[in-house]
Amino acid sequence: MIKSIENFWVDSNGNKWNKDIYTEEESLKRSQNLTNCTDCMNCTNCTFCTNCTKCVNCTNCTNCMYCAYCAYCTNCTFCTNCKDCKDCTNCTFCTNCKDCKDCIEFFSNPEKIFSVEMGSRKSQTIIYFNKEKTLVICGCFKDTLEKFEEKVKETYPDANNVHRKEYDNFIKKVKQYME
């Protein structure tokens, strides 16, 4: 069962989905795809997670944001395929980490960044980069980060559009990380 509370659809475990993004039916389906998760927001297919936001296919994670396919992580952001990354500080944009503690060495260039499912397609965007160039792959789009940003603005001209905000936020965080 799912209830309407303020601007969210909320399930019995306190997991919630933004009404601006998800219908009641979509929220109910996503709720049924979570297993023993509590107080998470806009997550999909996760198991035993707590206080996570916009995570996909994660297991036993706590206080993570925008992560995908991770397990037993804590306080991580934009990570992919990580395992047992407990007590990481500044653990951001990590890829394929295992048994990390204070992941400062993993804060350097992982050479690819995965988003969580976002945009109107509810799909991942991948950014490959090195010191000389970037390559963004998002659906059938393949080009530089600058061209991707232009394409997002062209596709979603309204800066208040929920999908535009998701992409803009992701692009901003990627740029900050790459600096």
Task: Kindly list the domain boundaries of the chain, sorted by start residue.
Answer: 112-178
Report whether pLDDT(86) > 60.
no
User: Does 76 or 36 have the greater pLDDT score?
Assistant: 36
What are the residues whose beta carbons fall under 8 Å from the beta carbon of 146, sequence distance 6 or more? Answer: none
120, two tokens = 């109107």
Residue of 118, 116, 98 lying closest to 106 (CA atoms): 98
pLDDT digits (tens, 9 = 90+) for 98-125: 555 444 433 344 467 878 888 888 888 8
pTM exceeds 0.75: no
> Which of 52-61, 67-76, 143-152 shows the lowest per-residue confidence on average (mean pLDDT)?
67-76
Contacts of 67 (CB under 8 A, 6+ apart): 52, 55, 56, 58, 61, 73, 76, 77, 78, 79, 80, 82, 116
Cα separations (Å) of 44 from 16, 33, 172, 173? 11, 7, 23, 21
Contact between residue 143 and residue 137 where contact means Cβ atoms under 8 Å apart:
no
